[in-house]
């Protein structure tokens, strides 16, 4: 497995991480726990060292799963988790955001127990809380870092100014936001800002929530609990229109003897050496497929062909439901 450093922080992880959210929530009913423990451990055996979770996934169930799976190999991996939603200790959602410093500490202490560890390697603010100055958030993390309970500070779906202000108080190691051929918003301002400040980038949904695998079309039926049912970009009409993008990826995949998923991930990896995508899966064969992207070299001509084709496609539909978009800052 090739390794990458997240910006100038010194945090070195595998070129691809593993997003664990879908094992417990969002994409349908929770997957078999024993099977997911095996998959997480298999990912590590194949070289993956960055595992991404959050208190909100479940809530709590995903952190508990990741903690149990990684306990035997804790010192050989980096665990990323998140705070920022108003979730009570019993798992009841308040419906909003909460990044008050005292709440951050409560979340950290509870996450350490669920993750069966004495430190969180990368602690993200899941969504920016407009009611709490980001300087206060960064200050709370700085204290946790000083105590050895947190290794690195991260932000998720944060805007440019928020990133700058946070970084001035406590260095930001990584920013996590959606980024793929299906959503290229970060290219305009976010990526240049991260490069300027030596901050790594961790794209979630690097396969466009599965769309770029080529296994989804306008006739695909999702489980009733799958979040994609509420995403405008995944309406049947939008999927039909957006298949033009998948066609471009499939063309390159056919020429490179690769899969569309591998092309989509290899394209991301080729954008910057400090980008570490975190594709998620619950299937061992998909894990193996995704990891194959690390050794797939796209030539300048390949990248030019993909970019030219993608630029000619007008993507239909918003990337998130309106309520979810309202909790994000413009990180484009």
Beta strand residue intervals within the chain, DSSP E = 3-5, 12-14, 18-19, 50-52, 78-83, 85-87, 93-97, 120-125, 150-156, 172-178, 200-204
Q: Which residues contact 312 (CB under 8 A, 6 or more apart)?
A: none
> How, if at all, do strands 3-5 and 12-14 pair?
antiparallel
Q: Which residues of 290-328 are buried (b: 16+ CB within 10 A; e: fewer)?
A: bbbbbebebeeebeebbeebbeebebeeebbeeeeeebb
Torsion sign, CA atoms 95, 100, 102, 104 = positive
Q: At what angle do helices 61-70 and 101-114 cross, to 10 degrees?
A: 50
Under the phi-then-psi rule, with left for phi > 0, alpha for psi from -120 to 50, and beta for the rest, what region is 315? Answer: beta
Q: Give catalytic residues, as residue numbers.
A: 57
C-beta separation of 299 from 256 below 8 A:
no
Distance CA 296, CA 172 (A): 30
Q: Which of 169, 151, 190, 177 is nearest to 12 (CA)?
A: 151
Q: Which of 18, 52, 5, 49 is nearest to 199 (CA)?
A: 5
Half-sphere exposure of 64 (CA within 13 A, CB side): 10
């Amino acid at each position: 497995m090739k390794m990458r450093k997240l910006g100038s922080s010194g945090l070195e992880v595998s070129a691809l991480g593993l997003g664990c959210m879908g094992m417990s929530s969002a994409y349908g009913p929770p997957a078999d726990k024993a099977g997911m423990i095996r998959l997480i451990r298999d990912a590590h055996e194949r070289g993956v060292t960055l595992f991404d979770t959050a208190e909100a996934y479940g809530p709590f169930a995903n952190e508990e799963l990741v903690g149990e799976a990684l306990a035997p190999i804790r010192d050989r991996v980096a665990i990323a988790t998140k705070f920022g939603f108003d979730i009570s200790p019993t798992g009841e959602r308040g419906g909003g955001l909460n990044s008050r410093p005292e709440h951050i500490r409560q979340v950290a202490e509870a996450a350490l127990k669920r993750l069966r560890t004495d430190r969180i390697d990368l602690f993200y603010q899941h969504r920016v809380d407009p009611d709490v100055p980001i300087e206060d958030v960064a200050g709370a993390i700085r204290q946790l870092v000083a105590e050895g309970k947190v290794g690195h500070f991260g932000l998720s779906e944060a805007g440019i100014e928020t990133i700058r202000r946070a970084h001035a108080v406590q260095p930001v190691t990584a920013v996590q936001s959606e980024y793929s051929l299906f959503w290229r918003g970060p290219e305009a301002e976010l990526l240049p800002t991260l490069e300027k400040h030596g901050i790594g980038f961790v794209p979630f949904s690097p396969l466009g929530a599965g769309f770029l695998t080529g296994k989804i079309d306008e006739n695909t039926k999702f489980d009733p609990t799958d979040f994609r049912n509420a995403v405008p970009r995944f309406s049947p009409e939008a999927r039909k229109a957006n298949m033009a993008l998948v066609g471009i990826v499939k063309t390159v995949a056919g020429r490179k003897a690769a899969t569309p998923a591998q092309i989509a991930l290899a394209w991301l990896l080729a954008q910057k050496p400090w980008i570490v995508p975190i594709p998620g899966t619950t299937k061992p064969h998909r894990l193996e497929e995704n990891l194959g992207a690390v050794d797939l070299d796209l030539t300048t001509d390949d990248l030019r062909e993909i970019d030219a084709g993608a630029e000619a496609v007008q993507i239909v539909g918003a990337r998130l439901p309106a309520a979810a978009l309202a909790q994000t800052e413009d990180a484009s």
